[in-house]
Structure formats: structure tokens, C-alpha cells
Structure 1
């Protein structure tokens, strides 16, 4: 809820807005509605002066007399002064001297039009939540029957006026021509949730039982932070999102039809998380302390912004310590080749983790047309895991074949840093004309260390062994963008170069009893380099009419891959070229209702995590490795979406996608070694047809309801071990929430979700429900708030089950995650801001490599 104070003279304007909405042709029913509305507002927290029914009747009589006089008219469009975007549903009051005449609202394109006015001098007052109130004097004459006011800019940061408090609800979901935007600051639960929990509520997104985020049921997409790729989130999305408080996020954009200026990677689209970066003269900050139990621990997060003169800076930060108590896992595998047998494996594991991140953005205004911005960030984390496994292999009639007990103390560590510099030049002829030059550098490292100790052997000769894998990725990006508006047409173009240097040093050492030491195994040791060079150019056009919007573009990309196995002099070279089209159409049916149609192609380039041939043998019976021979995948996406924004916010969509030669994670069983190998291959054909819906409805001023979900039918085909394999089925997700605001300021929210099984080429997972309740209260208004939540109080564990089949085996895996959570959070906001800082409006957005986001698989 957003509150704005206005003086008594604006009460009449407020009531006249309702006159316009309900219509002037029903004066007596109008008076009843106005009277009811006025009585409701008399119960507000501030004292209001009464307005007599007689005054209201005189106003209606005045309108009637005005309608009978010779008429004139005016029209115009209200826009944001910072980015020239149209402002929808702005209240416009018209008066002569101090007498109010009429009030109307702008439409979804920011436009308004009045007729039936007599020639003379008037004062227009523009009122919008979050913007300064603006008065505009005008004069209507007989010489110009319709006065065109053109674009009328409003500046952000309205001042609070006196006496009456009018409460308005901000729309949480907004549909643009190529994306859906979730306004996090309009969601009262943002004070309570982590970023991962919040993503459950965003239309088109879902979170599965293993805390992987899916976009329309698809695990292949890209996640940005502030329109830029994030190294820390590419490899560890769950850790980052659980450590990031939702309160530090301004909005989440789900881009289903990315325009040509975006890199083409991410089959399902892009998720862009925009943090609170509004920096003004002065300073403002927030800090959040939280604790999660029984699985979890303490966490801290927040943001800080400051501006002094031409210099401004913003930062977001966070950290967490987490303890995962012991959980259980097991495998069951039945093989049908060689000597048929059954493997039973039970495991118990517990772990500890820590994670820290910091991102900063700097800005310096040289003058009104020249701007320099920069960025610096780093992240650091580690996960320690203790795993005990008990493995037994028997014939189908129960005779023992093999057995052992194994203990593994494993460590995963990661760290990274990045920096960037942008120069933006504006032009006097048009502030939308921009030339931007950007450079960005990032470095990321990922280390894995497993130490396996084996006891109680039965026919199992594999010695104790150690494994390490140290990987790094350095990336340089240089980009030039140009934006040129021509009337209603906006033209964009640019060139870009990305240079990635990937390095992996993996080693394995077996225990030698004779020397009582570990000796390196050359068959499991190598140094691997994979360098990618991507050169691209794009051109796009956006054209807007009163009720239509069109966006179209083309991107050309040349990719060169050079892979080198340094230890054995083997090489893999790839070179491919792609044209990537994108089209989006937006049609305004009537005020608050739009229809969107989009088509784009997307590329899935295999990332280093998919390509790295390192074999993870932390579980001796089940190995994981990448495939350096993988090639990119081209996917075609079509979507149609209807949006309605009134009292209820409604989005309904249809989507269809298809791709050939997709990258699938496969399982192959080797009868000679008794080992199942997980790896990736280009063998799939994917098709998906689905629908999605989201509704946000304020039942009353205190009670709000929202529901969202998606459902699709998928068809998967591929060849596994020379045999044609196929699978199909429904994939779906539904989320619902109900929130209530009490008189004393307490807010309570209840929510639930349900995910259907996830369909894979060789099997599927199980379904699972999720439910929770949360509460919050401002202890000091707009300064200090306390919140708490309970998730799944009647389910201690979530069981995650995967059933897989192959030509010669069937397999089922079971693992537990802690599912019952209790969370407490304390948030403090401080500081005071004035004028808005300028931000670079174009920058580097690398979204061309897979392996981030909701990447499934065990590599």
C-alpha cells in the first residue's frame, strides 16, 4: 500500500475522480456512491473535514450546465521525465481559479482527451503516486477547437501534503511488449521472504523440490542482476538467492521474448533481478538480519546508496552461514545385462556452508549529456559435506556379489570478482538518442575436493582415492550500442565481442599400500582449456502507435570454440554462425487491457560445466562428467499473452516451443565396471505446448488474493545406446496466496504451491506441495520492521525421487531435504534522499552461455 497526503482542497478533486468514473448521466446514484465513498474515507487515520451533500449536488448541477454550453477540447500524453515512458492511470483535475470542474485518468499509453469544455482559462493538476504534483495553466480559444498539449513530463518524488490520507494499491504485475515485470516493492511480503522464496510468487516462474528455479517449467534460461550477467549466480543460484533478502530487490523482469540487443542464450528466456538502486542527493540504506532453522543459520543483507553532487554510488551485499543436519539418501538399480543384479545403496550426509557477496555501482555526471558509470563486485563461498554410504550388490535371487562402506569428506569452494566501465553520450536534439561504450571483466574460480575412504569390502578392489578439480573462467566483453529515435520509431544497433578463457585442472590419486601414499592416476588426470570467442552485431526497431506497438530485430553471431587437452595433446575446434530473429507485437484493446504476441529464436551454448570432461567419482557406483564435443542448440519460442489491469490484475498466456538436437543429460550403464555414468549429449528433440495464468485481486482494502500457475505438455525424443527413446507428459505448477492487513499494522500472509512431476527423457521426478504462513509489523514506521515465517510445519523432510530407465537398467534415487523452516527477520531502513541519480541506460548483458539458473544435473 502507498500513502500520499493531500490538502482539503484536493478532497473535491478526489471525489470528482469518482464522478468521472461512475458517469455524469446518473446524478442521484452518483450522489449515493460519492456519499458511501466519503463515509469510508472518514474512517481513515487522519481527521477530515466534512463535505456536505449539498456541495456535491451543486457540483453535479455545475457539470450539467457546463455540458449544455458550446464545447472545446484538449488532449495530451503524460510521461516520466527521467525516461520518457508513458504513465498510466494518472489523475488529472481541471479547475477555473479555485473551482474544480472535472477529473479523469490517463489510459495505459499515458494519453488523455477532454471534450465539452467552454473557451477560457483553466488550470490542470496532474497527480500520481510516487511523482510530484504538477500544475499546468492552459487557455482554450475558438480558434483551436482541440488543444494538443503534447508530452507532459512528471518528475519522481512527490512531496507529502497535509491533512487527508488517500491509500492506493500499486499493481504488482505489469505486462510490457516483451516482458512481464513483478513489482517487489508493491508486495508486502518482500519484508519477510528471501529472493528464492519470492520467486515462487512471480508469474511464469516456479521452484522445484530441490530449490531449482524454472521458467515456464524449463531449466534452461539466464539470470541477470541489474541487467548484467552475474558470475556468482551463474554457478550457485540457490546459495545467492537464499542469502539475498527480497526487500533489497526493486523488481523482477521475466523476459520471454528478448529483443535483439540481448545475447541469444537461454532457451526459455531471461530473469532479470533489479535491486534497489535509486540513488539521490543524500544517502539511504537498509540492513536485514535473519535466522533460519532447523536447517540454516544466521544471515545478513542490505543495500546502501549515496549521492553528493555529480558523484553517486550504490551497493547491495549479503552473507550467510548455514548448517544442514543429517539427511538420508539412497539408490536402487536393477540391471538386465550380463549377470542381472540389484544394487542397494544407502547414505547419510550433513553439511555446512558459508556465502558472502557484494556488488557496487558508481556514477559520475560529467555534464547533462555525458555520463560515466562503473561496477565492482565479488563473491566467496564454501560448502563442506560429510557423506557415509553403504553399498550392496546382489543377484536377483539375493546372493551377494559386491559390497562396501564409504566415507567422503568433500569440499566445494568458489569465488569471483568483476569490474566494468561504461561511457554514455547523449545528444541535444533528443535525450533518447544515446551512444554507449562498455567494457567488462570478470574472473570466477570453482574448486572441488573429494577424499574417499572405503571399508568392509566384499569383492570390491577399488583403492581409497582423492579427487580435485580446480576450474577458472576469465571473461572480457567489449560492446558499442547506439539508440536513434525518429518520431514514433526507435532504432537500436550495436556490436559486441565476448572472449572467454576457461581452464580446468582435474586430478585423481589412488592409495598405494606399498608406498603408503597416494599416487596420481594419469588416466583420470588432465589439464583442459576451453576458449570461446563470440562476435555479434544486432539491429532492432520499435514502433509505437496509439493502440499498437511493434518490436522486431535481428542478431548475427559468430562463435569460435577452441578446446585443448593439454596433458595428451588432444584438441576440439568448433566454428558456427547464427542469425537470431525476434518479433513482438503489443495491442491495447481498451484502457487497461492489452494483447501481446511474440516470437524469437534462442541458442543454448554449452557452458564449461557441461563441457568439462572431469569425472566426478564421489559416488563410486554413479559417475558424472561433461562432454567436450557438445554443440549449441537452437530453440523456437512462440507466446501469446492477454493482460488486464483494473481492480484485478490478470495475465493469461499461451506458449509453444520446439528444438532439435537438444542437450540432454543421459545415464548409461557399463556392465563390465558396474558403474552408471551421467553425461550430456546432443540427442534430443523437444516440443512443449502450454498455458499460464496469474491473478492478483484486492478483495477488500485489507484482504488481497493472488494466484499464478502454468501447465504444459512436453514431448521428448532421443537415441540412447542406439535405441530410440521417448517420453511425454504434463508439467505444471500452481501458487496461491492470501494476505490480510490488521488495524494495528500487523500483516499476515498464507501461501501454497504444488509442482507436478518433472519430465525427463529417461524418466521423471515426483510431485510435491509447499505451504507456509508469514507475519510482519513495522515497529517504527518506514524504519524498523519485524517479521517471521513458517514453511511446511507438518513436514520435516521433502522427499525428492527420480525414476529413470535405460536399455539395460531401471533406477530410482531418493534424497531428503529439510522442508520445515522457521525464519525470523529484522529490517532497518535509514537515511534521506533528494534528487535522482542518472544511470547508464545501456550496458553489457552477457546471456549467451548455459549452465546457470536452474541447470539440472549432477556435473
Structure 2
């Protein structure tokens, strides 16, 4: 009740405040207007606007997401307005009289499509692969030939500000606590294992990736590192159309088919995609030293082994889009996805016990395996109503996502004589994850320069996880249930949220986007035999604020602040124990609390004609109750009726605070519309304080650099090189190694540009990546080494049929029943 009263009071107050139209005198004139497509009347976002006097540019701007523009600080005079946009004919108006202290509205400027530029033998201009907006960076993956093979993690490696390590873990500017959306919506497939889920999305189906480091109030507060929104492809053309694509490779294979049918005001879409990572073998070693409380050595453990991993999965999707009236739209979709990962490992282990006066050694050969699997469904229904007033909209969305997951392992230890030893076991950890989401959003234009947004949302998650443990009966081949090791974990989380935000222009000089979001989180949980786990409920205010100013010659300066929260995911909370390596155990932490994150960002970007773009960002991040992996050493560790000796236990903990300060530079340059260069560099200083060890902190300088070069030597042939290097990554207990990645790709267009075939090579000079980690903690230190196979070659192909249309949804937003095929 308090939440509802607060929200409606806040909504009413903000509406009254924003309804006061800004009246500010200016000593100079202002031009405003709108740019739209002459055929569809859709707004054209980020069109280039230039104001010229006697043929020389004096000011300029870009249209916003609704196609509007505003150019201030114009002295009294007569000007020419020029508008340019990719794929459209240049447009200009001469003889515009601007008077001081007046706002001159040039009205709606309709641009006509320039098919000659797009279909001619010589390409005049190409869409930028990277697009810089006021609140996000957009990477157009469908314009990048080396992003058409592999899976989603291969695409994300090339996105500005984003890093992907060798295990597929994704981070934004060094922060791995991120929120990943599909077409603007959360998905249960990311809840249990984000890394594995991203491996299930074929790269060829990704149209674009949006990186949002300063999310506004309309976005969920979840994700302290920011938001990655993956936009899948869609075709809105009338009639039948479709696409067939696939990749055959030495490491990855995938394929899919997409079908679309649109007639009058109704359309349906369907797709099937499958993927597989062929068996790869990783060679690993571990060297660990353990100590007692006085610092005297306890033992020295050596391990050497090999793990074979395979992945695979498929996705089936169907959706519809119905324009009930010109102002009412209903969309819906059904999605089913399934993917799994299997690993089979062999390990030789020798432990030298150093406790005096008696020293001894123990040898063990182990065979173990892990299985992770998930299959989930998603049902979405969305309604949108557009009022008579332009920009006034009401959106409602209902989503139900039931999912199932499993995490199993087995262990068989043998002595030097080949006899099976005590400790052989099997563990099965099935579970369910059901999520329901309901939201309503309303957009109200207050004036030509001010828009108010408000909304409410409820998210309800229920997770149930069961662990069944079976131990081998000594002297037999029978496994029997162990009730002391079996357990049940139920977890329920409800988040009620409301927000208000406004987009406006201040004093004809500053564009501002401001908002506040309130989220009330309620938690309930039971563990094992119905015993409750006490979680405190909490509420969070999440403000956001962005100021920006566009200078002449297409320069933009931005300053922003946002607050975020990182709630633990189920994979972090699940108390199921993975003892497939009984000397290095992994377990979830059901008492993990949320991480609170504050970010300040200063950005500057500029364009040089249509050939070059540079974006520079300075930022400061502060994370309280920082969530990180943490390892402890135990001389004895008891689980049920089993006691492990000299074991390292890894879990997730709120380790303390982390502060990052750094910068990111992205730049692109096009030479003669054939040769393109792109580079991205980010550097940041990290300072971590460990609350578990008094006076312990770590300070390091981390950096990443990548380079992308593409060349189109004819309308049918194109080649591209991509390379990146990431420095070693320091965390609270040690560092993770540096690594590099590079690809070389070539593509040939076929069948009147409806089809293509290409080849892509990755890390072709080296078979393995050497990854050596050094971790230290109270009473232990270890060095682990992995040789990960990364060299690969793949052949890609695609074919489009029917009528093609690359334009966006007519309602300007991603609907529940649409994908960007």
C-alpha cells in the first residue's frame, strides 16, 4: 500500500511540474523540425542536420529517436537547412529567415528513398556498424561479415565496451554483473547460466546489440554493470519471405530457417535454429599449497588431466503481429529452447602430506563428468495503443516463462592399482524456474520539447531445486541414496516497481533525460526439510540523470549518473554442492545479498562528415557489497555424513567494495567507402577492498584493445580482420591471465545478392590458448593452468527468398510477437 501511495503521489507531482512549459528568452534564434520517411511516415532517427550560411556550415545536430531536431544559438539571418540520411536523397531548404529570440518550426521534412545508392554497381555509402546515441551504443552485427558465424559470444567480442573472456563470461567495462535482454525483454534462459545460454544463440540471427551503461528509469534496476539488449532479426515485408543459413566448422556448427508471412494488417513469423560445439579437449594442471593457522605447510597437491566438452541445443519460435486498427496493435509469441553441456574428465592427482613427524603421499586417478541442461518456454502477449496526439502511447505486456534445468555430476576415484576407492558418487540436481511479468507503460508528450514517461511492473519468480545424492556401496557396483546429502531448496522473489521519467530541453541548450525508479523486493525461501531461510525484504530508489548538448559539426557532450542493483541469480544462490573434484568443491550461497552500484559518466563524440566517428567516455564506478567468486581452505569440511579433508571451497560472496575509474575510446574511419577501420580501447584502474581479511585490498590497471579492418574490393567480395588483446584481470584473491583473439573472414555474394558464402578463421596460428591463474587466500595458494583449444575454421552460407525489407517495426518498438529476421 505504501508503495502504491508513493508512486501515484510521485507521478502526480512530476506531471504537474513538467506540465509547466519552459518559457525562456534567448538572445538567439532556434530551428526545430522533424524528419520522416516520405512513404511510411516513420521518423528517421539520427539523420544529419546542418545549418549553412552562404554555403558554410554554422551549426548542426542529429535527429533524436523520434526524428525531431532542435538547433539553437543562431544569430539573426537567412540560412539553408541540409538533411542527409543513409539510403535517402539529400534534402535542403533555402531562404529560412531566423530572428533573434524566436523559434522557427520548419515542419515535417519528408525524405525520399534513394534506391540508386543502395542498388547501384558502386556503393556510395554504407550504414555505420557502430551507432552512438544519447543513452546507448549500438553495434549493427548484420553489417559485419565476421559476426555472421559462431554464436552470440563471438558477436559480443566486437561490441564497444564489452569483453568476453575465454570461458564465455561477458562484462561491460570490466563489470560482469550485467543484465542481458532479448528484444528488450528478460528471458529465463539467462537465469541459471548466462554463459551457456549465450552459446545457444546463433550469431547469424543477431541484427544488433545495444550497450546501455546509463539505463534510464524505465529499465529494470537489475544489472550493476549495465544492460546488453540483443535484437534478433525480423522481416516485415508483405507476402512470403524467409531465410536459410548455416555454418560448418571445426569447432562450431549451426543452422536455421526463418519464415515470415504478412498480409494486410496481420503477420506471422516462425523460426527453427540449432547449434552444436563439437568435442574439444582442454588440458589442465593445478599446483596447490595448503598451510595451517601458524603458516606451517600441511600438504602439496598436484593435478594433471584432460576434459572433453560438447555443447548443443535448438530453439523453436512462433509469433504474430496484428494491427487491429491504425492505432492499436496486438502481438504475441511462443518460444521453446533447449540446450545442454556435457563434460567428461580424467585426472591424476598426487597429494604429499607434509605434517611432521610423519610424511606420506596419496595417489588417485579420477574419472568424472558434469552435465548441465536447460529447456524453457516463453509466452508473451503485448498490446499498444497510440493516441491521436503524436507520441502519446500506452503499452501493456504480459509474459510467462516456465523453465526446467538440471546440473548433474558423477565421480569415480581409483587407486594406483586400478581399484575403486571410497567417495564414488552420483549427484542429480533438477529444478524448475517459473517467472511471470506484468507491465504497463505510458508516454505523454507535454510540449514539443518535453515528454513524460511512467509505468508499473511486477516480476514474480519461483525457483525449486532438488538434489539427490547417491553413494557407491563398498565392495559392490550399487549406488544407494544418501539422505544426509540430499536436499530441497525453494526460492520465491517478487519485485514490484514503478517509475517516472522525463525527456526535455532546457534553455534551448541542454537535452535532459531524468527519472527515478522505485523497486520493492520481497524474498521467501525454504531449505531441505521445510526449514526457512531468512532473507530481509528491501526497497531501492534508483535515480538516473543524463545531460547532453549537441554542438555544430555533429559534436555531442554528455554527462550522466545512474544507480543500479545486482540481485543474486539462482545459479549464485543454489546450495547444491558440486564435489566432482572432492579437493576443490563448488557450492552456491543462499545468504548472498544484493550489490549496489553507482556510476558517473562523461562522454564526448564527434563526426567528421560521413567518414569518421570518435566517442570518448570517462567513467567512475562504485560497487558496495560487491559480488565476486571467493575461495576458502578447510582442513575438514563436512557435508551431511561425509567429511572432506584439506579442501578448497569456492562460492560467491559479498566481498566488500570495488571502485573503478577509467576511459573508453571508440573510433571508426571509412576511406573511399571500401576500406573501413574501427578500434576500441578501454583502460581502467580497479581498487577492491576485501571485508573478510582486515586491511586486505588489491589495486590494478586493466586494459583491452581491439582493431577491425574491412575491405570491399568489389560489390560481390568483402574481407575483414578482427583482433583483440585483453590484459590480465585482477580480482580479490589473485589474477586471471591475459588472452588474445583474432579472426579473418571473406564473403562472396551470390544469386543477385540474395545469398552468400564465406569462410572464417579464428586464432589460426595457435592451437591452444595458455591460461594460467594465480590465486591466494588464508591458508592456501595455487596456480592452475589450462590449454584451451581456440583455433577454428568455419564455412558460412545464407540464402534469402521472397520479399525483403530491412526497415524497423512500424510502431517504433520491439513487440512481443516480432523478431528481427
Give the shorter-chain TM-score range: 0.7 to 0.9
Question: Of 122, 143, 164, which residue of structure 2 is paired with 1:207?
Answer: 164
The equivalences for 1:678-689 within 5 A come to 678-689=650-661
* Residue matched to 1:53: none
Structure 1 unpaired stretches of 5+: 1-72, 95-100, 846-859
* Residue matched to 1:70: none
Question: Of 684, 702, 707, which residue of structure 2 is paired with 1:712?
Answer: 684
Between the aligned partners of 1:143 and 1:400, the Cα distance in structure 2 is 93
Between the aligned partners of 2:566 and 2:534, the Cα distance in structure 1 is 19
Matched, 1:285 2:242: yes
* Residue matched to 1:169: 126
Q: Is the 8 A contact 2:192 2:569 kept in 1?
A: no
Between the aligned partners of 1:375 and 1:328, the Cα distance in structure 2 is 43
Matched, 1:364 2:325: no
- Deviation per CA, 1:763-785, whole angstroms, max 9, x where unpaired? 11111122221111112332111
- Provide the secondary structure at the position in 1 that maps to 2:771: strand
Task: Assess, with a 3 A threshold, how the Cα gap between structure 1 residues 556 and 141 changes in structure 2: closer, same or farther.
Answer: closer
Q: Structure 1 residue 433: deviation in Å?
A: 0.7
- Provide the secondary structure at the position in 1 that maps to 2:177: coil
Between the aligned partners of 2:594 and 2:98, the Cα distance in structure 1 is 66
Q: Is the 8 A contact 2:369 2:580 kept in 1?
A: no
Question: Of 435, 438, 442, which residue of structure 1 is paired with 2:401?
Answer: 442
Q: Is the 8 A contact 1:801 1:813 kept in 2?
A: yes
- Provide the secondary structure at the position in 2 that maps to 1:197: helix
Between the aligned partners of 1:302 and 1:548, the Cα distance in structure 2 is 47
Between the aligned partners of 1:765 and 1:142, the Cα distance in structure 2 is 60
Between the aligned partners of 2:248 and 2:297, the Cα distance in structure 1 is 52
The equivalences for 1:334-345 within 5 A come to 334-337=289-292, 340-345=298-303
Between the aligned partners of 1:117 and 1:657, the Cα distance in structure 2 is 47
The equivalences for 1:18-37 within 5 A come to none
Q: Is the 8 A contact 2:458 2:495 kept in 1?
A: yes
Q: Is the 8 A contact 2:429 2:468 kept in 1?
A: yes
Q: Structure 1 residue 625: deviation in Å?
A: 0.8
Between the aligned partners of 2:90 and 2:801, the Cα distance in structure 1 is 25
Question: Of 496, 499, 504, which residue of structure 2 is paired with 1:535?
Answer: 496
* TM-score, structure 2 normalization: 0.85
Task: Assess, with a 3 A threshold, how the Cα gap between structure 1 residues 490 and 520 changes in structure 2: closer, same or farther.
Answer: same
Task: Assess, with a 3 A threshold, how the Cα gap between structure 1 residues 779 and 569 changes in structure 2: closer, same or farther.
Answer: same
Task: Assess, with a 3 A threshold, how the Cα gap between structure 1 residues 563 and 242 changes in structure 2: closer, same or farther.
Answer: closer
Matched, 1:639 2:601: yes
Between the aligned partners of 1:147 and 1:760, the Cα distance in structure 2 is 54
Task: Assess, with a 3 A threshold, how the Cα gap between structure 1 residues 240 and 562 changes in structure 2: closer, same or farther.
Answer: closer
* Residue matched to 1:510: 471
- Deviation per CA, 1:664-695, whole angstroms, max 9, x where unpaired? 22111111321110012223211001111111
Task: Assess, with a 3 A threshold, how the Cα gap between structure 1 residues 540 and 156 changes in structure 2: closer, same or farther.
Answer: farther
* Residue matched to 2:451: 490
- Provide the secondary structure at the position in 1 that maps to 2:672: coil
* TM-score, structure 1 normalization: 0.82
- Provide the secondary structure at the position in 1 that maps to 2:813: coil
Between the aligned partners of 1:676 and 1:158, the Cα distance in structure 2 is 65
The equivalences for 1:253-652 within 5 A come to 253-293=210-250, 295-296=251-252, 298-301=253-256, 303-315=258-270, 317-337=272-292, 340-395=298-353, 400-428=360-388, 430-456=389-415, 462-487=422-447, 488-513=449-474, 516-544=477-505, 547-567=509-529, 569-646=531-608, 647-652=611-616
Between 180-189 and 654-663, report the one with greater CA deviation: 180-189
Between 391-400 and 812-821, report the one with greater CA deviation: 391-400
Q: Is the 8 A contact 1:650 1:696 kept in 2?
A: yes
Q: Is the 8 A contact 2:76 2:100 kept in 1?
A: no
Between 800-809 and 565-574, report the one with greater CA deviation: 565-574
Task: Assess, with a 3 A threshold, how the Cα gap between structure 1 residues 140 and 182 changes in structure 2: closer, same or farther.
Answer: closer
Between the aligned partners of 2:621 and 2:281, the Cα distance in structure 1 is 41
Between the aligned partners of 1:796 and 1:400, the Cα distance in structure 2 is 38
Between the aligned partners of 1:555 and 1:344, the Cα distance in structure 2 is 52
Between the aligned partners of 1:206 and 1:531, the Cα distance in structure 2 is 32
- Provide the secondary structure at the position in 1 that maps to 2:591: coil
Task: Assess, with a 3 A threshold, how the Cα gap between structure 1 residues 740 and 394 changes in structure 2: closer, same or farther.
Answer: same
The equivalences for 1:170-249 within 5 A come to 170-192=127-149, 194-249=151-206
Matched, 1:660 2:638: no
Q: Is the 8 A contact 2:464 2:490 kept in 1?
A: yes
Between the aligned partners of 2:372 and 2:33, the Cα distance in structure 1 is 59
Between the aligned partners of 2:469 and 2:391, the Cα distance in structure 1 is 57
Between the aligned partners of 1:516 and 1:460, the Cα distance in structure 2 is 10
Q: Structure 1 residue 823: deviation in Å?
A: 1.2
Between the aligned partners of 1:731 and 1:144, the Cα distance in structure 2 is 51
Task: Assess, with a 3 A threshold, how the Cα gap between structure 1 residues 609 and 194 changes in structure 2: closer, same or farther.
Answer: closer
Question: Of 136, 148, 151, which residue of structure 1 is paired with 2:107?
Answer: 151
Between the aligned partners of 2:622 and 2:800, the Cα distance in structure 1 is 47
Q: Structure 1 residue 843: deviation in Å?
A: 7.0
Between the aligned partners of 2:728 and 2:45, the Cα distance in structure 1 is 42
Task: Assess, with a 3 A threshold, how the Cα gap between structure 1 residues 155 and 832 changes in structure 2: closer, same or farther.
Answer: farther
Task: Assess, with a 3 A threshold, how the Cα gap between structure 1 residues 201 and 837 changes in structure 2: closer, same or farther.
Answer: closer
Q: Structure 1 residue 842: deviation in Å?
A: 7.5
Between the aligned partners of 1:604 and 1:836, the Cα distance in structure 2 is 32
Task: Assess, with a 3 A threshold, how the Cα gap between structure 1 residues 812 and 521 changes in structure 2: closer, same or farther.
Answer: same
Between the aligned partners of 1:661 and 1:239, the Cα distance in structure 2 is 26
- Provide the secondary structure at the position in 2 that maps to 1:438: strand
- Provide the secondary structure at the position in 2 that maps to 1:692: strand
Q: Is the 8 A contact 2:149 2:247 kept in 1?
A: no
Q: How many residues align?
A: 759
Between the aligned partners of 2:165 and 2:208, the Cα distance in structure 1 is 22
Between the aligned partners of 1:479 and 1:391, the Cα distance in structure 2 is 54
- Provide the secondary structure at the position in 2 that maps to 1:196: helix
Matched, 1:252 2:186: no
- Provide the secondary structure at the position in 1 that maps to 2:696: strand
Q: Structure 1 residue 589: deviation in Å?
A: 2.1
- Deviation per CA, 1:403-444, whole angstroms, max 9, x where unpaired? 21111133221111101111111211x131111221100012
Q: Structure 1 residue 799: deviation in Å?
A: 1.9
Q: Structure 1 residue 285: deviation in Å?
A: 2.4
- Deviation per CA, 1:138-164, whole angstroms, max 9, x where unpaired? 999999999955332547865559989
- Provide the secondary structure at the position in 1 that maps to 2:470: strand
Q: Structure 1 residue 526: deviation in Å?
A: 0.7
Matched, 1:787 2:764: no
- Deviation per CA, 1:64-114, whole angstroms, max 9, x where unpaired? xxxxxxxxx9974424666645542269999xxxxxx99999732346899
- Provide the secondary structure at the position in 1 that maps to 2:238: strand
Task: Assess, with a 3 A threshold, how the Cα gap between structure 1 residues 787 and 245 changes in structure 2: closer, same or farther.
Answer: farther
Structure 2 unpaired stretches of 5+: 1-29, 64-68, 637-644
Q: Structure 1 residue 281: deviation in Å?
A: 1.6
Q: Structure 1 residue 730: deviation in Å?
A: 1.3
Pair member with larger Rg: 1
Between the aligned partners of 2:41 and 2:77, the Cα distance in structure 1 is 33
Task: Assess, with a 3 A threshold, how the Cα gap between structure 1 residues 689 and 460 changes in structure 2: closer, same or farther.
Answer: farther
Q: Is the 8 A contact 1:281 1:836 kept in 2?
A: no
Q: Structure 1 residue 464: deviation in Å?
A: 1.1
Q: Is the 8 A contact 2:33 2:108 kept in 1?
A: yes
Q: Structure 1 residue 461: deviation in Å?
A: 6.1
Task: Assess, with a 3 A threshold, how the Cα gap between structure 1 residues 532 and 116 changes in structure 2: closer, same or farther.
Answer: closer
Q: Is the 8 A contact 1:524 1:615 kept in 2?
A: no
* Residue matched to 1:37: none
- Provide the secondary structure at the position in 2 that maps to 1:707: strand
Q: Is the 8 A contact 2:301 2:350 kept in 1?
A: yes
* Residue matched to 1:774: 745
